[in-house]
Structure 1
Amino acid sequence: MPHRNIPFALVGIDHVVFLVDDMDRALAFYRDVLGCAPGYSYPAMGMEQVWAGAALIVLWDTTHAGAKAAVPPVTGGRNVDHLCLATSPFAAEDMRAHLARHGVTIEREAMHGGARGMGHSFYIHDPFGNKLEIKGPAEYPDGRAQDQAK
């Protein structure tokens, strides 16, 4: 329910923009490791978008001439800690094997809360240093996924 002084209601995350410096490598990671589908393309800007469920991840290639506005003024600056991607139920051992096959290091693995409740999370980095949390659905103490418990 919107606050009475705000003329809109938030409905969720639309997209996040990550700065990259190798578009082919970025697209391969988001397609092959995370399973994102191609989204909108803006070749004049050096920008590609990929679908992560109902939201978009925008990849903006800072080496492209059309990305001058995206290049941060200070190298190494950071303004996003991580993006959490909600997933379907998964077996932790299958996730570990999948990430290992793609040479992706798991920074941390934990049970954490989120919008859907407490669930199993894997923290990784994309090839450009952006931290991603891959988070399964809420789980009950006996391990059943919330959507399977009904």
Structure 2
Amino acid sequence: MPTETPFSLVGIDHVVLLIDDMKAALSFYYGVLGCQPGYSYPELGMEQVWCGSSLIVLWDITHPGGRKAAPPISGGRNVDHICIATGPFDHQAMRAHLKSYGVEIHQEAFHGGARGMGYSFYIHDPFGNKLEIKGPAEYPDGRATVSTG
């Protein structure tokens, strides 16, 4: 039986992604996703970008300050994907936007998430990190429904 914690959960504060090209990373997260500049730690080879009210931390493992974060040679991954919640979007406009940046859509799906059943696009950033771009919940009565093009 779970014990009561001395704190309350608010949500995800930040996620750290390991990258090896800061310029390409910032181009993707600013251009494709529309993230905004966050905190900068140049001595660590780290830039943070705002994704709504959460941060995505980009840590360059080729930078001397980021080498300690590099995964062991044996490799392996420890995160499948990050889901980025969005407001309503037109599905065809999303497809066109991603195509304009040369970003391949690996999957489209309609399934549950923290905000309910909604439509998602799965893509990868330039470093192979899988991102799910998930719209708001859509309900049978039409609330929050947008064009599925």
Q: Which category describes the TM-score, using the shorter chain as reference length? A: over 0.9
Q: How much has 1:4 moved relative to structure 2? A: 5.0
Q: How much has 1:141 moved relative to structure 2? A: 2.3
What amino acid does structure 2 have at the position aligned with 1:73?
P
Q: How much has 1:53 moved relative to structure 2? A: 0.3
State the match for 2:4 in structure 1. 5
Paired with 2:60 and 2:100, the residues of 1 have a C-alpha distance of: 26
State the match for 2:36 in structure 1. 37
Q: How much has 1:74 moved relative to structure 2? A: 2.7
Paired with 2:56 and 2:102, the residues of 1 have a C-alpha distance of: 21
What amino acid does structure 2 have at the position aligned with 1:122?
F
Paired with 1:124 and 1:20, the residues of 2 have a C-alpha distance of: 16
Q: TM-score, normalised by structure 2?
A: 0.92
Which SS does the other structure have where 1:60 is aligned?
A: strand
State the aligned residue count. 144
1:56-135 equivalences in 2 (<5 Å): 56-74=55-73, 76-135=75-134
State the match for 1:137 in structure 2. 136
Q: How much has 1:76 moved relative to structure 2? A: 3.8
| Structure 1 position 14 matched with structure 2 position 7 | no
Q: How much has 1:6 moved relative to structure 2? A: 1.3
Which SS does the other structure have where 2:136 is aligned?
A: coil
Q: Runs ≥4 in structure 1, deviation > 3 angstroms?
A: none
**Gap change, CA 1:73 and 1:38, over 3 Å in 2:** same
Q: How much has 1:9 moved relative to structure 2? A: 1.1
Q: How much has 1:142 moved relative to structure 2? A: 5.0
